[in-house]
Amino acid sequence: MTNETEELKHEMKNAENLHGHLGPFLVIGVKIARLAKKTLNLDPSKHNELQVTATLPLLTPFSCIIDGIQASTKCTIGNRRLKVENSKRDITVKFELKDFSKSLEIQVIPDAVEMLMSQLAKGASNEELAWKIASMPENQLLTIKNGWNQNLEKITDLEKAKRRLKSENLTLSIVKKSEIIFESRTHGIFGFLEAIEKLGDKLRDASVADKIVGKAIALLCIYAKVKAVYALTMSKEAEHALKECGVYFERDKLVNEILDASGKEMCPFEKIALTIVDPNEAYRKFKALQSLILKR
């Protein structure tokens, strides 16, 4: 028996212990996890940064796949590294690293599922079918979406910053050359001012995802010469300023103005920003207002 078969048997045993019985869909879960680990070629130190989203019909026997994945990846509902979503038919499982540097989507080939369901209907035993799945060549059971042997999905810096902002509930994420260079949960403009302080010239050509981009942040983006900006909420003035300077941007919501923390008045930095065109002047004035506020 080869090492690989030995390993698979061992993982099947672990999954059976967790799940309570051995069945073909449990083994599919194990095989999905094994293929993901092999393809992503993860450094063992990164194993606890793996996150899984399983999309499948939330009915047995399909849902047995979930326990196969939990047993083989240690990504579980309990540690919140496994998300489960319902689907009508398709079975796909997405694996990604927390920093989004690697990701992979695996689909169970629908013909293989149909074959199993018809064999089960004919009275084949769970155990028998489990071993059948275990010995089935990977490429008859699973596909890596968008083709076998594809290069792992490469995402843009802006997309990475955007996903970080949402998944980690940040107020600011800055990515350059696939690396996260700055992140913050500070509200308002202080986070961005800190990034400029710390990184200075390194912000040039970086991609910025910020929860709220008013004209003040837009001017700072122009000042720092960033390449791209994403905002959950962007003001019309900010949009105008970024367009004028040819900075690429994406946004979800567009609003007339950005309010202060009380939600009643316009943010004080925004008030100053409205009268400024020159980004260097903007930076100087924001710093002055910041030190005034901090002294209060």
Between 65 and 212, CB nearer to Zn ion = 65
Q: Is 64 in the site for Zn ion (CB under 5 A)?
A: yes
Helix (H) or strand (E) holding 110: helix 110-121
User: 28 or 64, CB closer to Zn ion?
Assistant: 64
Which stretch, 56-64, 90-98, 134-142, 147-155, contacts Zn ion (CB under 5 A)?
A: 56-64
- Min CB(13)–Zn ion separation in Å: 15
Decide whether 82 or 273 has the Cβ nearer to Zn ion: 82
- Give helix then strand counts, H and E, for the chain: 12, 10
Which of left, alpha, beta for 285 (phi over 0: left; psi -120 to 50: alpha)? alpha
Residue 41, C-beta contacts closer than 8 angstroms, at least 6 positions apart: none
* Cα separation, 51 vs 84, whole angstroms: 11
Which residues lie across from 84 on neighbouring strands? 54
How many of the chain's residues bind Zn ion (CB under 5 A)?
Answer: 2
Are 11 and 51 spatial neighbours (Cβ–Cβ below 8 Å)?
A: no
Site stretch for Zn ion (CB under 5 A), options 19-27, 83-91, 189-197, 288-296:
19-27
In 3D space, the residue among 152, 199, 135, 151 whose CA is nearest the CA of residue 172 turns out to be: 199
Range 234-293, binding Zn ion (CB under 5 A): none
Smallest separation, CB 144 to Zn ion (Å): 25
Choosing from 22, 23, 141, 229, the residue that interacts with Zn ion (CB under 5 A) is 23
Contacting range for Zn ion; rule: CB under 5 A; set: 58-66, 231-239, 253-261, 277-285: 58-66
- Residues of this chain that interact with Zn ion (CB under 5 A) are 23, 64
